[in-house]
Amino acid sequence: MKKIFNPKSIVLIGASDEKNTVGFGLADNLLKGKSKIFFVNPFKKEILGEDCFKSVSEIKEKIDLALIAVPQKVVKGVVKECCAKKVGAMIIVSSGFKESGNTKEEEEIVEMVKKAKIPLIGPNCLGIINPSIGLNASFAPLTPKAGNIAFLSQSGALLDSVLGMSEDEDMGFSKVVSYGNEADLGLIDFLDYLKDDPETKVIVVYFEGLKDGRKFMETAREVVKSKPIVMIKSGRTEKGKSAVATHTGTLAGDYDTYIAAMKQCGVILVDTMEELFDSAKALAFLPRMDNGIGIVTNGGGLGVLTVDYCAEIGIQVPDLSNATLSLLEKKKEMGKVPVKRNPLDLIGDALADRYGAGMDILLRQKDVNGLIVISTPQIMTEHEKNARMIVEMKEKYPLKPIICCFLGGPLVSSAVKILEDNDIPNYPDVLRAVKSIKSLIK
């Protein structure tokens, strides 16, 4: 695995200089990295200014990673050559195997690489990316920012969209893998590797099906002890074929079983891409916490709505203790606040000093393990000052995650930037904030 993500030398078989081809996309991305790159294409002498070899066997240097992007018919032959060359690992980008009914050839390839003891990713995948060293061994349209989210995807196209969207969301990645047909290396192997990958803090997975559900559960149980896994599944509505004859069969639909299984092994299963991003961001930025949050707001309605959502999804909103109440009573900034409770409604005219005092006192209470801070744009609201106050609180209470909900579009965008620059996630909707803090609960 280490070689796959940190190859000193890479060969691309099927390199091309024709724009809008996979072979070109791969070649172009590879040249941006620091690894030594070799191109193979029997019909070309030169590609993108680099010499082109007729075959892998012509290359004298040692090869850590071979990327295979040739027509399906010649894949097997190329794999054979790569085995003979004793490359460190292979990625078969080409499609036309198990996914389209060609199981036999895929099995033959697996047999070859297993015999040669060479790990294989794919076939039918996009490739891999390791942003921290600038490695982009894929035909994704961009290399994302480096960060601490690992993203594993069974679908290639979806991965492209996610990488595109991540630009706006200010998210960075530690490793990106499109794992395709899992002929050899699969989801379980990558989870296992990422468990000990120091660059990865949270693992995000898009999947359509699992190869071995029980083995997956076993691995996931181990991984989540140190790193959270967030997953989204497509193809949820298909019903089990055995469903007709029994009650249990009908009621335990495929997706319901996935929900139960994921919960049992501690995986966070989400419904939408938005939730996938939102919780990944929270988990990447913030520490995990025990159940129990405080809510600070300058709008009563949103505070109550937040409490409603919390109740619905099982987040505790503890009552304020006598100690907390008396601290609030004594604080002069709180003078105008009529009702002291959780959610703490600082009322519309709250300035940053009142936010600061409220947050500080709530966070001092033992069973307030995290905070949702809501800020609506009243004419006097000091958004940027509020944001800086939150940054201060984050530093003062590093083990208590703070999630923000600054609502107000362009009116609050400069404040949101301050938050996000300091790794404090902001969501323009209280439900999204509530769901994200839920994912932090251990």
Partner 1 sequence: MEILSFEETRRLLLKYKLPFCRTEIFNSKDKASVFAEKIGFPVVLKIHAQKIFHKSEIGGVVTNIRNREEFEKAWDGIEKNIRGKNIEGMLVQEMRGGSEIALGMKRDPQFGPVLLFGLGGIFIEIIKDVSLRVAPISREEALAMIKETKGAKILEGARGRKKADLEIIADMLVNLSNLSIKEDKIQSIDFNPVMVEGDKACIADFRIIV
| Residues found near partner 1 in the complex (CB under 8 A) | 209-210, 212-214, 217, 240, 242, 245-249, 251-252, 254, 256-261, 264
CB of 49 or CB of 314, closer to partner 1: 314
Q: Least distance to partner 1 from the beta carbon of 320, Å?
A: 28
Q: Least distance to partner 1 from the beta carbon of 263, Å?
A: 9
- Measured CA to CA, the distance from residue 202 to residue 237 in angstroms comes to 28
CB of 217 or CB of 273, closer to partner 1: 217
CB of 57 or CB of 242, closer to partner 1: 242
- Measured CA to CA, the distance from residue 18 to residue 145 in angstroms comes to 27
CB of 169 or CB of 189, closer to partner 1: 189
Q: Least distance to partner 1 from the beta carbon of 153, Å?
A: 19
CB of 261 or CB of 325, closer to partner 1: 261
Q: Least distance to partner 1 from the beta carbon of 177, Å?
A: 21
What does the H/E/C string look like for 266-313? Answer: CCEEECCHHHHHHHHHHHHHCCCECCCEEEEECCHHHHHHHHHHHHHH
CB of 242 or CB of 326, closer to partner 1: 242
- Comparing C-alpha atoms, which of 178, 38, 186, 41 is closest to residue 110? 186
Q: Least distance to partner 1 from the beta carbon of 211, Å?
A: 9
CB of 211 or CB of 396, closer to partner 1: 211
Q: Least distance to partner 1 from the beta carbon of 241, Å?
A: 9
Residue type, 310: C
- Comparing C-alpha atoms, which of 437, 303, 308, 433 is closest to residue 376? 303
Q: Which residues pair with 129 in a beta bridge?
A: 136, 176
DSSP annotation string for 346-413: --TT--HHHHHHHHHHHHHSTT--EEEEEE---TT--HHHHHHHHHHHHHH-TTS-EEEEE--GGGGH
Give residue for tokens 């109550």. 304
3-state secondary structure of 41: coil
CB of 77 or CB of 213, closer to partner 1: 213
* Cβ contact 188:197 at 8 Å: no
Q: Least distance to partner 1 from the beta carbon of 249, Å?
A: 5
3-state secondary structure of 438: helix
Q: How far is CA 15 from the centre of its chain?
A: 30
Q: Least distance to partner 1 from the beta carbon of 354, Å?
A: 41
How many other β-carbons are positioned within 10 Å of the β-carbon of residue 211? 12
Give residue for tokens 């707001």. 297
